[in-house]
Structure 1
Amino acid sequence: MNRMQKFIFSCLLVVVVASTTIWLSDSIELKPSVTKTTYINSVFGSPGRKVFEPVLPDRHVELPKDFRFHPEFQHEWWQLVAQLKDDSGQSYWVRWRFFRYASDDRIATGWQDPQIYIANLVMNSHLGMFTDQRIARGGIGQAGGLSRPFRVWIDEWSWRSLSDQPLPGNLRLSSDSFSVNLQLKPAGAYALLGENGYHAKHDLLPRASYAFESPFIASQGKLTLSDGTTLNVKGRAWLSKEWGSELVGANYVGEDNFLLWLTDTKALQVSQYRYKDNMPYTTASLIDVNGHVINVPSEGIILKALNYTEFASGTRVPLSWNLQIPSQKIDLVINACKRDNWVNFVVPQWQGSVTAKGSDSAVGFMQLSGY
């Protein structure tokens, strides 16, 4: 290779290297950044141009009428958390959630039905943690719901009422690890959160839903393990229902939820909603067995994470908390009963039973997402 050829080769090499560098730089800049906020919103995003009923404070929730389906709203879910014991006194925690999400505002049937159903199941016990999840489209019979009599189902999972009221009811769930068949009876009244069921999730952002709770439900039935062993179980359960049209806002990151039985006749529900560019917003409601509710204003609640647990994936989750509500003389340290309860559902989260010590001695359930 003569001098002129070497010069030409060197010039071409410089051009190739420079072009490659510019291309890689542009590719990195153009690559979308996937964050907790963008991921959650890609799953349960804001309605955008879709037309759904707004959540307004002048609409009063009616019970038990509003146990029904609300297809005019984009989201809704039912949840049941049960603390069960077998004949030997061994404890089992079961948490089931049935979620409906409308991908758009059309009314259609068959495969064009825009309703998507997601249900997930968690059981915590001395045997370990077992989870399962189902996802299905409405309109084809695989999943759906009826309002009168009340029934929701996805595959073989079902919850149905046994009268003209939502309760008493029957819950049937099964997975490869266990199955449960529970009879549910009311042992207390329904309770409306917030202002007659209007549950604000921030004081500066237009985020709210309709919600009610029923922390006092008697439960008994059968729990069958993977080896075929069938156990008689009984205990108590907590029912939650929520619906709206923007359960996930544009800056939503995640939330921290606590359900605590303070006594056999008094319960405490606490939720903290976390946002990317706004301060967290915390709500708390004291509920008694007669359905009376004391809604605590956000500024009257102090909720602090005491320490974080890091998992192999690098995810750090606060499994110990301090909750203070001075106006109600509540000061609790809440601790997870088990550490390794991270579940990779559609929205990855930590779920599990907790104990609380301090002004009260309580047990309950904690759900954390967005970490």
Structure 2
Amino acid sequence: MNARILLLLCLPAAAQAQGFAGLGGAAEGFALPERGRALSFPADHGAHPAFRIEWWYVTANLETPDGTPYGLQWTLFRSALAPRDTRGWDSPQLWLGHAAVTSAETHHYTQRLARGGIGQAGVEPAPFEAWIDDWRMAGPDFDDLTLSASGPEFSYEVTLDAQGPLVRHGEAGFSVKSAEGQASHYYSQPFFTARGTLHLPEGPVEVSGSAWFDHEWSSQPLSDRQTGWDWFSLSFESGAKLMGFQLREAEAAGYSYASWIAPDGALTPYVEAFEAEPLETVDLDGIEVPVRWAVRLPQEGVAVEVEALNAGAWNALSPPYWEGPVTVSGSHVGEGYLEMTGYE
């Protein structure tokens, strides 16, 4: 969603106690999302250094020619210690990259950390390029991109081709995250086709499939009572798509939102209508994590079971969270990705 994972290593200790990974921390001095602000492209594909938190996020459901499924993750996070962007080592912009490849049997993941202001990481809107060290998402425009990352046990190179429009979540890209009104600017490109090569310990694997891109920025996307989220991006055989999340609170019912995306990209927003109920958990590093869910959006006739391809898709990074491909069965059939944070 996403109100995504940010930077335990880079956020002040005082902020870490508020919301997940400091996302509910105070935002004094930083810009805040504005209801009614129109997103503008290609400029808004780039970075927004006046905001405290930002991420560019790709997940992909892939398979080999014989039908063996894989999942892929590529993420670039930006966190600001101050609302300015300067060159040199005094830049307050901090960067984090996460990458992973998941199969039914294995889950490989890694991360990179970088400072802003010295060229080690950044994002340029046109022509689009997002990078950290030698990891890249880049292309002549946002409809035609290449994606690459590498770690100790894997690497990949994938091409992404847009087959539909950008989707603006919430109110034209203004995405509310709590009853108190915390919000972000949030859009997706859920219509990428993907093709490329995974380099794994067992050798190179040719894959193709679909990918989902999220870009989100804010300064305080969670309230101080919210402890984490469960975020689903689901693609159905009908061509429709569903993005839904629930933000959990320790002492009260959480907040939920869903975007129903028609095959032509038309979006219908639903506030407090998305339902996700855990059906099965597994123990990962001593933490009980749901890996099978009942997901419902009654207004669109959705009543599905969402199940992890690999229950062990735990990213023991900074901070730790679960992220992996899922299968969908029930009223709608398909596949997608699930992210879960704040479980302890």
TM-score greater than 0.5 by the shorter chain: yes
Within a 5 Å distance, the mapping from 1:88-107 to structure 2 comes to 88-107=66-85
Structure 1 unaligned blocks of 5 or more: 1-33
Residue 183 of structure 1 corresponds to 159
Residue 252 of structure 1 corresponds to 226
* Mapped partners of 1:95, 1:62: distance in 2: 26
Give the letter aligned to residue 132 of structure 1. T
Residue 23 of structure 1 corresponds to none
Residues 37, 252 of structure 1: 8 Å contact kept: no
Q: Paired residue for 1:38, among 14, 17, 28?
A: 17
SS in 2 for 1:327: helix
* Mapped partners of 2:271, 2:27: distance in 1: 30
- Structure-2 change in CA distance of 1:323 and 1:103 (3 Å): same
* Mapped partners of 2:277, 2:136: distance in 1: 37
Q: Paired residue for 1:306, among 264, 279, 286?
A: 279
TM-score, normalization by structure 1: 0.83
Q: 1:252 Cα shift?
A: 2.6
Residues 27, 52 of structure 2: 8 Å contact kept: no
Within a 5 Å distance, the mapping from 1:1-371 to structure 2 comes to 38=17, 43-44=22-23, 46-49=25-28, 51-161=29-139, 163=140, 165-203=141-179, 205-226=180-201, 229-263=203-237, 265-298=239-272, 300-311=273-284, 313-371=285-343
1:92-131 deviation per Cα after TM superposition (whole angstroms, max 9, x unaligned): 2101111111111244321111111111011111451100
Residues 96, 120 of structure 1: 8 Å contact kept: yes
* Mapped partners of 1:38, 1:365: distance in 2: 28
Residues 15, 24 of structure 2: 8 Å contact kept: no
SS in 2 for 1:110: coil
Relative contact order, higher structure (CA 8 A, sep 6+): 2
Q: 1:75 Cα shift?
A: 1.3
Structure 2 unaligned blocks of 5 or more: 1-12
1:130-187 deviation per Cα after TM superposition (whole angstroms, max 9, x unaligned): 00011111112221222221111111101112x2x22201111111211111111111
Q: 1:193 Cα shift?
A: 0.6
Q: 1:48 Cα shift?
A: 4.1
More strand by share: 2
Give the letter aligned to residue 328 of structure 1. E
Measured on the aligned residues, the alpha-carbon RMSD in Å equals 2.2
* Mapped partners of 2:53, 2:39: distance in 1: 16
Give the letter aligned to residue 344 of structure 1. A
- Structure-2 change in CA distance of 1:44 and 1:140 (3 Å): farther
Moved more, 247-256 or 73-82: 247-256
% identical aligned pairs: 29
Q: 1:361 Cα shift?
A: 1.3
Q: 1:324 Cα shift?
A: 1.8
SS in 1 for 2:89: helix
More helix by share: 1
Larger gyration radius, structure 1 or structure 2:
1
Q: 1:80 Cα shift?
A: 0.8
TM-score, normalization by structure 2: 0.89
Residues 79, 239 of structure 1: 8 Å contact kept: yes
Residues 307, 318 of structure 1: 8 Å contact kept: yes
Q: 1:364 Cα shift?
A: 1.0
Q: 1:42 Cα shift?
A: 5.8
